[in-house]
Structure 1
Amino acid sequence: MDGTVLYIGGAIATAFGTVAWWAVRSVHARQNDFEKDLAAYKLHVAETYVTSNELGKAIDAFNRSIDAVFAKLERIEGKLDTKADK
């Protein structure tokens, strides 16, 4: 009878260990998949989207262009105001 209890206990321990091993392996595999997906997403973002420094430079260039347009419009307005045959 003592041997039977040991065999049953060993079988239960083995079954529990197998289930625990399977669960840990499954979680580890999902974590690796998540890390790969995250790395791919980071690469996509780095390749696709503009950095804040580049965006700031582009906005500054756009603002300078708009200022130049308004300066030309003011010069045209000044010339029209001084025109003799209004």
Structure 2
Amino acid sequence: MDLMSAGIGGAAATAICSVFGWMLKRSIGQLDRKLEAHDEALQKRSDDLAAFKLHCAETYATHSSVEKAIDAFNRSIDAVFAKLDRIEEKLDKKADK
């Protein structure tokens, strides 16, 4: 009888270990799938960010180019005011004659 109970106990222990092993394998498999999905989501976000950076670089002006454009505009305005001042001086001289 001891041999029979030992066989049944061993079979029960083997069954319990098998169930726990199967559960462990299943949970590890689920974690692997979650990690793969997470990696795919991170890669998609990284690709989206790279596309947005490219869009910004192609669409919007940089700080230095805006400064150059403003400086050129200011020089043009200064030239217009200088011409207006010369015209005003000529008109003042004509009015005196």
The structure carrying a bigger helix percent of its residues is 2
- Look up the match of 1:67: 78
Paired residue total: 86
Q: Distance in 1 between matches of 2:30 and 2:44?
A: 21
Structure with larger Rg: 2
Which piece of structure 1 moves more, 49-58 or 17-26?
49-58
CA–CA distance in structure 2, aligned partners of residues 63 and 85 of structure 1: 33
1:76 to 87, 90, 95: 87
Residue 14 of structure 2 corresponds to: 3
Q: Deviations over 1:14-68 (max 9, x none)?
A: 1211111111011100000011111111111111222222222111111100000
SS state at 2:61 partner: coil
Stretches (4+) displaced over 3 A: none
| Distance in 1 of aligned mates of 2:47 and 2:20 | 40
- Cross-structure match for 1:57: 68
Are positions 1:16 and 2:27 aligned together? yes
List alignment gaps of at least 5 residues for structure 2: 1-11
In structure 2, distance between residues paired with 1:50 and 1:68: 26
* Match of residue 59 from structure 2: 48
% identical equivalent positions: 47
Aligned residues: CA RMSD: 1.6
Distance, in Å, in 1 between the alignment partners of 2:73 and 2:88 is 23
